[in-house]
Chains A and B, each alone.
Chain A
Amino acid sequence: MADLHLTADRATTAESVAVDAALAAIGVDSALVMEDERLVRGGTHRRHARRHALLPALHALQTESGWISPGGLNYVAEVLQVPPAEAYGVASFYEMFRVDEAPGHDDDVVHVCVDAPCLEFAEAKIASLEAEGKHVHRSPCLGQCDRANANDGPALFIQGRQKANSVPADAPSLAGELWPLPQKHEPGLKLLKRVGRVDPTSLDSYVAMDGYKALARAFELGAEQVIEEVATSGLMGRGGAAFPTGIKWRGVAGADGEQKHIVANADESEPGTFKDRTIMENDPFALIEAMTIAGFAVGATKGWIYIRGEYPLATARLESAIEQARAAGFLGTAIAGAKSISFDLEVRRGAGAYICGEETALFNSLEGFRGEPRQKPPFPTTHGLFQQPTAINNPETLLNVLDIVTDGGAAYAASGTEGSNGQKLFCLSGHVTAPGTYEVEFGPTLREMIDVAGGVTGGELKAVLLGGAAGSFVGPDLFDMPLTMEATRAAGASLGSGVIMAFNEHTDFEAVCIRIAEFFKNESCGQCVPCRVGAVRQHELLIRSKGKVMNGELQLLEDMDRVMKDASICGLGHTASTAVRSAISLGLIGAN
């Protein structure tokens, strides 16, 4: 085969069949590669044309064989014309792929979450699973923090061997139980208004609950006016960076490029975050409609949902919803009767890498490269997915667009507070009575939110991890701070992805902080020196100082934080020390 050099290892028939099926599902015909070879398409073109199929192909191999075997990798390399060294570089980047033939790859792999709040239940569960002979993998946050408690233990995710992946806690939802929220259904809910009431597997049910009315309204308004309404609304991104959505969309609409993209960043991996899972599992059509509106607004005909690999139920529901929407004419060409408008969607699964929630790392991952962030500028609005203009938004952000289009940007801007318009989803977890996804109009304080979730359990509230592992701990002096963009910013904190993780007075903060440091160490992509080494040195420092970070060590920690903030390529490095340093300044760990 051409000029690819492959080792003598060959795929089993089962492996090649599995890969072919995965490729066919995304429109890549593996038989065509021979044909293409005769067309003398060389160099960059050949490397990129089918490269985006690499991740789905690796998923198929992993599921079939329980690891990425040399023969299987060779087959993928040959079919996609990806050099095997590069394909190996990609495979070895992800948590869900294993590239060694260690014993155990014949089993299902049970991923056990070891991040707070699962942390305190994890080791006991791992011990009992291992005693049962299960193959266990210690996993970073699985996005089920609402389910962690002393009775049920930590969050679990089962990576299936020769069968679909699954989450044990999804069983009730799969059996038709609808209500996923601790929050009582209130008339004020907007983002979650259908959640628990609509049948997430039925387009008819969605349409019966005002589904696709916003898209019809968007067509009435016209693309430019939709962007105008979004800009007027003051909507800011809900993924953590709080960038104004209207500005982003204007940038994409005005960018040169024949092909533009809408990407939903559903790689929800920030420890403590599970709100997007709530949306996607329970109201998948809403995300699809919102993305369709976004595509119409910015002139993108192609949409992608990059969803984290550990969300099998959300993935299945989105894929089914996309099929139904396409069959009903809500996706494809001439959507919803608008002859000139085309928009279609594809779901792509991540494979276990926190960094792929960084937007440019996500693009690289989706394109079939290692999930390493790109240096910005250039920005995604002009050089995004496949180097084409791209609007990439968090699912929650996109969901807000439905009401903005329906009710107008001005009405949206009138809700919330001065600097934070509209509704917000918060992920409450840890030592609260009723963990879960909560929707409020911007304004309540941290203490009020914890009260909404039934208050603290197991003792007095000592601290809250606000914004996730990339956020910071806040103590009693900020419990009465309104949870708005402006108030948190003024306090030197951040709402991040809406994480409110409560810790009572009996928490072992040293263990929590060491785990946070380990999380960043494990999740750094390794590309830039400040983060690759800094995250390791921070973890070492915490272990070395046994929770008593003082004097010279304190200075070193600060020095490391500064270089990671100043000189890392992306937000992972920028925020890798934030939580630990806040824990020290609050006296949760350290000498104070």
Chain B
Amino acid sequence: MTAVESTTAKSANGMTETLVTIQVDGRPVSIPEGGTILDACSKAGVSTPTLCYAENLTPVNVCRVCVVEVENSRTLVPSCSRVAEEGMVVQTDSERVRHSRKMVIEFLDTSVDLSQTTAPTSNEAGGRNLADWAAEYGADSSRYGPAPQTMDEEVKIQDNLYIRDYDKCVLCYKCVEACGDDAQHTFAIAVSGRGFGARISTEFDVSLPDSACVYCGNCVAVCPTNALQFKTEFDLREANNWREEEQSVTRTVCSYCGVGCNLELHVQDDTIVKVTSPNDHSVTSGHLCIKGRFGWQYVQPTIQRKPS
């Protein structure tokens, strides 16, 4: 989001943009027309929890953890998708907002394994993760009885590239979007079933190798809860040897073709353990293909490949 200070401003491409001004927690904030309440919150320095939101995907506003109170709106509104309108009066920390955010976190925590939802789930760089938000709002997952129903899913290991652990799935739809018209246009997965029984699935839950999946791994890259995991990461975690804090991240350019995708090589013990791409990279917007995402073994030829 381009920083702007007055009622009109020059955008990055030199065009004059119209600004809208809204009140966020009593303070006026101006953002370019068409921006969302979440954009305005970010501009105002107001930290907001998010789960199903990603800057490189169309907002689907399903997790409801980013809800805010908008004056004259009967219900709370999702800040990630609601376009800011001139004069809107937004509260981000009212009792109603705190209550709903707390309940959403409790609902997820009682249903889903959130133990690996450790990345920031905020609109601020290096911001808070879901556990921080749970503490902030005083979430108490112990009050739902001895055995609340959970996702109750086995890990799906169907190839050597990535695994699917739907016990960790919050149904944020991000993988579906990345597989579909927000990035890959492969449509190998969709939401199936209904209600609490809804799951991300291929047709008839056929295995990934039998499905339309092209193994771009863009679903893995956008997953906020580690329900989708690179097999390398999964194996290291199983061996109790995943040490994220010791990993280095090196930015480089993919060597396969001439597009120029930037890669981030995550390295532990001098071994590449996963590959991502920066969301703000103009070529990829965080998305890659199978070669850039998974085809890095040649860099370290001494690593023995497992038979698949």
A residues at B contact (CB < 8 Å): 4-5, 7, 43-44, 47, 70, 73, 77, 83-89, 92-93, 99, 353, 370, 375, 521-530, 532-537, 540-541, 544, 552, 556, 559-560, 562-563, 565-569, 574
Contact = CB atoms under 8 A, between A and B. Distances in A.
Given A529-B65, A537-B110, A563-B107, 16 more contacts: A70-B203, A73-B204, A85-B190, A85-B203, A86-B187, A89-B201, A375-B78, A526-B171, A526-B191, A527-B171, A529-B171, A530-B104, A562-B100, A563-B99, A567-B64, A567-B100
B111 A353 contact: no
A89 B62 contact: no
B107 A529 contact: yes
A529 B104 contact: yes
Nearest to A5: B212
A290 to B, nearest CB: 30
Nearest to B65: A529
B103 A530 contact: yes
A529 B62 contact: yes
Interface string B116-156: 00000000000000000000000000011100110000000
Contacts, number: 166
25 contacts: A7-B210, A70-B204, A73-B204, A85-B187, A86-B190, A88-B192, A88-B203, A93-B193, A526-B193, A526-B194, A526-B195, A527-B198, A528-B63, A529-B62, A529-B65, A533-B107, A533-B196, A534-B107, A537-B107, A537-B110, A537-B148, A540-B148, A541-B145, A567-B75, A567-B76
A84 B171 contact: no
Contacts of B18: none
A89 B75 contact: no
Interface size class of B (residues with CB under 8 A): 35 or more
Given A533-B110, A562-B100, A527 B62 contact: yes
Given A529-B64, A559-B99, A521 B181 contact: no
B171 A92 contact: no
B102 to A, nearest CB: 8
Interface in B153-196: 170-171, 181, 185, 187-196
B267 interface: no
For A4, A533, A544, which residue has the most chain B Cβ atoms within 10 angstroms?
A533
Contact of A567 (B67, B108, B197): B67
Given A83-B212, A85-B190, A524-B194, A569 B100 contact: no
For A84, A525, A559, A560, which residue has the most chain B Cβ atoms within 10 angstroms?
A84
Contacts of B203: 7, 70, 73, 77, 84-85, 87-88
Contacts of A86: 187, 190
B143 A536 contact: no
Contacts of A574: 75
Contacts of B212: 4-5, 83-85
B21 interface: no
B226 interface: no
Given A533-B111, A566-B76, A567-B67, A85 B100 contact: no
Contacts of B92: none
A370 B173 CA distance: 13
B196 A526 contact: yes
B262 interface: no
B206 interface: yes
A417 B196 CA distance: 43
A541 B110 CA distance: 14
Interface in B192-222: 192-198, 201-204, 206, 210-212
Contact of A568 (B64, B81, B82): B64
B221 to A, nearest CB: 19
A421 to B, nearest CB: 24
A130 B170 CA distance: 38
B231 interface: no
Contacts of A540: 144-145, 148-149
Contacts of B195: 521-526, 532, 535-536
A5 B210 CA distance: 9
Contacts of A370: 191
A522 to B, nearest CB: 6
B61 interface: yes
Contacts of A562: 96, 99-100, 103
Nearest to B188: A85
Contacts of B100: 530, 562-563, 566-567
Nearest to A527: B62
A569 B61 contact: yes
For B65, B104, B194, B210, which residue has the most chain A Cβ atoms within 10 angstroms?
B194
Contact of A528 (B64, B110, B202): B64
Closest 6 CB pairs of A and B: A83-B187, A526-B198, A5-B212, A89-B190, A563-B103, A533-B107
Nearest to B206: A7
A430 B111 CA distance: 36
B107 A88 contact: no
Contacts of B211: 5, 7, 85
Contacts of A534: 103, 107
Contact of B75 (A7, A93, A565): A565
Nearest to A370: B191
Given A70-B204, A530-B104, A92 B145 contact: no
B188 A5 contact: yes
Nearest to B213: A5
Nearest to B63: A529
A44 B191 CA distance: 19
Nearest to B179: A85
B145 A544 contact: yes
B143 A566 contact: no
Contacts of B206: 7
B75 A563 contact: no
A492 B40 CA distance: 36
Contact of B104 (A4, A77, A563): A563
A47 B111 CA distance: 34
A486 to B, nearest CB: 18
A566 B193 contact: no
For B103, B144, B171, B193, which residue has the most chain A Cβ atoms within 10 angstroms?
B103
Contact of A92 (B67, B104, B144, B193): B193
A530 B64 contact: yes
Contacts of A569: 61-62, 64
A552 B143 contact: yes
Contacts of A533: 107-108, 110-111, 196
B149 A536 contact: yes
Contacts of B103: 530, 534, 559-560, 562-563, 567
Contacts of A559: 99, 103
A536 B63 CA distance: 16
Contacts of B82: 375
A353 B198 CA distance: 14
B210 A83 contact: no
Contacts of B210: 7
Contact of B194 (A47, A73, A353, A556): A353
A477 B43 CA distance: 52
B48 to A, nearest CB: 14
A228 B188 CA distance: 50
